[in-house]
Amino acid sequence: MLELVARIAELEGAYRTFVVPGGQAAIALIYLALCKSGSHALVPASAYGPNRELAEKLLQRLGIEVEPYDPLIGEGIGALIRHNTALMWTESPGSITMEVQDVPSIVRVAHARGVPVALDNTYAAGVLFDAFAHGVDISMQALTKYAGGHSDLLLGTVSVKNDAFYEPVGTAWDLLGMAVSPDDASLALRGLQTLRVRLERLERSTLQVANWLAGQSAIQNVLHPALPSSPGHVFWKRDFTGSASVLSIVFKDVFTPTDVDDFVDRLALFKAGYSWGGGTSLAMTYPYLANGGKGFSGRIVRLNIGLEEPDDLIADLHQSLRIVGDQIKK
Ligand SMILES: *Cc1c(COP(=O)(O)O)cnc(C)c1O
């Protein structure tokens, strides 16, 4: 356990790291460490769905108000900060809709008003974006994704910038009994041994698939931070050292949500699945995505690219797109 804590702290350049039972546990721990009854917190509308659900189904009951904000708001965030704002969440890129945030600007405005900033750094695996160098106070990740790497582990970490955050996070971690099994920690250590080669391969394969998809006539937009058409691409280019294995595609509006479901059903190599970061490529539709009205009405599919041959993945996407495309012409 100490080994894992030390490795993640080193990877993230953190003062201290806590290991918790999963990414969602990490999110809950950060809320409970920094907020109290009467607190207000801000969370990007593009945040991981269960973060918002935790706010609506549990924190609200405890008197904590969590307000969603436009992930691309940048310095405009200042207008949403209140006297009781106790926590500013960032998540970059956002889940499903992939907006890359101007984290340094948000940090600057938040810190000027005394508001701490937390980052869900799962996409970057603590590697592709340096949270602490960009001013973030608390960085969490779901080790479930890239550190685990084999879709057989649930684990998370919360890393802090300094003692001022170590103390409240550590106290809440201890009181909530967020300890984890050493067997899980050893699986994460095993995953870290291959993290670098997996991230390199996944980045290359994902870019190949994303660029191919961007040239397909059925697709309105490919949401992948390294593509200029993706929201917040300029911030990715400025602040990140690479890209990872998740992307989303938005179908043109001649396609119905049923067509899009059909597209996913007809994929053979891609399996249906919500999670990501493992060796298997996955596809999932999001018909009920909210994200402040920018939910794409059931025409968005999130893909996780795995360790298969990218040419085979493209062939699989191609055959399914062709069938679904032919159907709408009839
Ligand atoms: C998966 C995920 C989580 C939650 O992680 P679990 O370990 O599954 O609880 C949190 N944030 C993001 C961005 C995720 O993708």
Whether residue 93 is preceded by a cis peptide bond, meaning omega within 30 degrees of 0, is yes
- Within 10 angstroms of residue 127's Cβ, the number of other Cβ atoms is 19
Question: Is 144 a pocket residue for ligand 1 (Cβ < 6 Å)?
Answer: yes
- With the most atoms of ligand 1 within 8 angstroms of its CB, the residue from 97, 141, 145 to mutate is 145
Reading the block at residue 54, the tokens are 């935790």
Together in a domain, 32 and 181: yes
Together in a domain, 62 and 164: yes
Together in a domain, 242 and 101: no
Question: Is 316 a pocket residue for ligand 1 (Cβ < 6 Å)?
Answer: no
The number of domains in the chain is: 2
Q: Which of 135, 158, 188 is the last residue of a domain?
A: 188
Together in a domain, 124 and 241: no
- With the most atoms of ligand 1 within 8 angstroms of its CB, the residue from 96, 144, 246 to mutate is 144
CATH of the domain at 217: 3.90.1150.10
pTM above 0.85, yes or no: yes
Question: Is 97 a pocket residue for ligand 1 (Cβ < 6 Å)?
Answer: no
Residue closest via CA to ligand 1's atom 3 equals 23
pLDDT 10s per residue in the chain (330 long)?
899 999 999 999 999 999 999 999 999 999 999 999 999 999 999 999 999 999 999 999 999 999 999 999 999 999 999 999 999 999 999 999 999 999 999 999 999 999 999 999 999 999 999 999 999 999 999 999 999 999 999 999 999 999 999 999 999 999 999 999 999 999 999 999 999 999 999 999 999 999 999 999 999 999 999 999 999 999 999 999 999 999 999 999 999 999 999 999 999 999 999 999 999 999 999 988 877 767 798 999 999 999 999 999 999 999 999 999 988 876
How does 205-242 read in b/e, with b if 16+ C-beta sit within 10 Å?
Answer: bbbebbebbbebebbbbbbbbbbeebbbbebbeebbeb
Question: Is 232 a pocket residue for ligand 1 (Cβ < 6 Å)?
Answer: no
φ, ψ for residue 87, nearest 5 deg: -155, 135
> Which residues constitute the domain of residue 204?
195-329
Question: Is 156 a pocket residue for ligand 1 (Cβ < 6 Å)?
Answer: yes
Together in a domain, 172 and 246: no
